[in-house]
Amino acid sequence: MGGRGRKGGSSKSILPRDNLPGVFKGTEETLFTKNMIIGDSVYGEKRTTVIEDGEKIEYRQWDPSCKLAAAIRCGVGQIYMSPGSKVLYLGAASGTTVSHVSDIVGPEGLVYAVEFAPRPGRDLIDLSRKRTNIIPIIEDARYPRKYCMLIKMVDTIFADVAQPNQADIVGLNAQFFLKDEGHFVISIKANCIDRTAKPEVVFANEVTKMKEKGMEVREPLSLEPYQLGHAVVVGIYRPETVQW
């Protein structure tokens, strides 16, 4: 997909984001990732090219319409994804945010991207042909046994599945694929879980469910004003705390 890149930018105007390796910031806290495929736009996003130490580097702007970018703009302390990380992404859709995670983990990392719907799944497969650190898995995240032979243990799970039983889905995938003391980042859309309850009540109930599955929540965070009725929870997986 096309997308114009602005050339000749100053490297001083795009700087690493503190505590978030692979994420960069520009003026007015605009977020960027370093484009793994120079010259290629995934979804029409703005790109900026700079010369650093004689090397051409291209950055892709990352808008807070993406949940993970919104979490960073809202001040999340960590996303537990960095160069070389192995990430399981549940609810990958057509790959918009997946492509930025691909940039973050780089050629030494991997993104296992799970998406059930056929149409965005096709887009995800097309994306993986250029970005070889993306492994597309067109399956239902509720049934990880169906794809367990495709995934090795991962460092982090990111989930954006928008299902009423989201905590169960993430917990089951964690049992299969998330290493002990690994981390999770979960986007929660309140009205997908309970349309009748206040968002803060839904978020608190989801945190309780996660604790029951060995997921110790360290950082709950509202995504407003970027994503109304959404929150992100970040934490560590400790399955030894579960009473089976």
**What percent of the chain clears pLDDT 90, i.e. is strictly above it?**
66
pLDDT digits (tens, 9 = 90+) for 2-11: 455 555 444 5
What fold is seen in the domain 5-62?
Answer: Phosphorylase Kinase; domain 1 (3.30.200)
- Mean of per-residue pLDDT scores for the chain: 89
Domain 67-241 classification at class level: alpha beta
Mean pLDDT of 30-49: 96
Radius of gyration of the chain (CA): 18
In tens, the pLDDT along 144-156 reads 999 999 999 999 9
In 3D space, the residue among 47, 134, 54 whose CA is nearest the CA of residue 99 turns out to be 134
Decide the pairing of beta strands 154-159 and 178-189.
parallel
Each residue of 69-109: pLDDT tens digit? Answer: 999 999 999 999 999 999 999 999 999 999 999 999 999 99
Which pLDDT score, from 0 to 100, does residue 1 have?
A: 42
Q: What is the pLDDT of residue 2?
A: 45
pLDDT beyond 80 at 138: yes
- pLDDT, residue 6, reads 54
Rounded Cα distance, 110 and 134, in Å? 6
Give the H/E segment covering residue 104.
helix 96-105
What pTM was computed for the model? 0.91
The neighbouring-strand residues paired with 86 are 110
As a whole number, mean pLDDT of residues 131-141 equals 97
Tell me the angle at which helices 96-105 and 118-130 cross, rounded to the nearest 10 degrees: 30
**Every domain of the chain and the residues it spans:** 5-62, 67-241
